Amino acid sequence: MEVIFMLKSGDKAIDFELVNTELKRVKLSDYSGKNVVLVFYPGAFTSVCEKELCTFRDSLSKFNRFNAVVLGISVDSPFANKAFAEKNHITFDLLSDFAGKVASQYGGVHENFLGIPGYTVAKRAVFIVDSSGTIVYSWVSDDPGKEPVYEEIEMELERLSG
């Protein structure tokens, strides 16, 4: 998969349209006027992804105070994402980026993940898009076992709401 470019802090966020667990189309621009936390994760039902998304789930009440929503994005099918959300009581949208196009534009992908030819997953990454559509925070890890620094994300959201 060819990476066209990757976004970073200060860049204008690229709008996208992906399907959620209910097969409803969701666009980033649907959240214009809100702060959006984009959470790219390699795969549902993996231990690190489960811990990460449950941490975001547990932070939602704080994020609501900061006029922020969370969108989880992976290459998983909407059906796998739905089962994952139900198992872990995740109430924010999990979006399916089947071809990895959005992940490639934002934080990048791991090709031939775990040595499996043709298996491409999103790199673990977090972006905060402010209410005007500008990326104000970006974190991307080449190590799929590494979690983001949750305190940094919360501090940035608090700064935006102040």
For residue 133, give the CATH number of its domain.
3.40.30.10
DSSP track, 65-88: HTTEEEEEEESS-HHHHHHHHHHH
CA nearest neighbour of 9 among 156, 150, 144, 121 = 156
Q: Spell out the SS3 assignment of 52-70.
A: HHHHHHHCHHHHHHCCEEE
Residue 121 lies in a domain: yes
- The answer to whether the predicted template modeling score (pTM) of the entire model surpasses 0.85 is yes
Band (5; pLDDT cuts 50, 70, 90): low
Q: Out of 18, 49, 68, 90, which one is annotated catalytic?
A: 49
Range of the domain at 130: 17-161
Cα of first residue to Cα of last residue in the chain, in angstroms, is: 40
Q: Checking DSSP bridges between strand 17-19 and strand 25-27, what pairing results, if any?
A: antiparallel
Tokens of 126: 């977090």
Q: Is 15 helix (H, G, I), strand (E, B) or coil?
A: coil
Residue 12 lies in a domain: no
* 49 flagged as catalytic: yes
pLDDT tens-digit series, residues 36-83: 999 999 999 988 999 999 999 999 888 888 989 999 999 999 999 999
Structural domains counted in the chain: 1
Residue 89 lies in a domain: yes
pLDDT tens-digit series, residues 118-150: 888 999 999 999 999 999 999 999 888 899 999
Q: Is 132 helix (H, G, I), strand (E, B) or coil?
A: coil
As a whole number of angstroms, the distance between CA 31 and CA 63 comes to 14
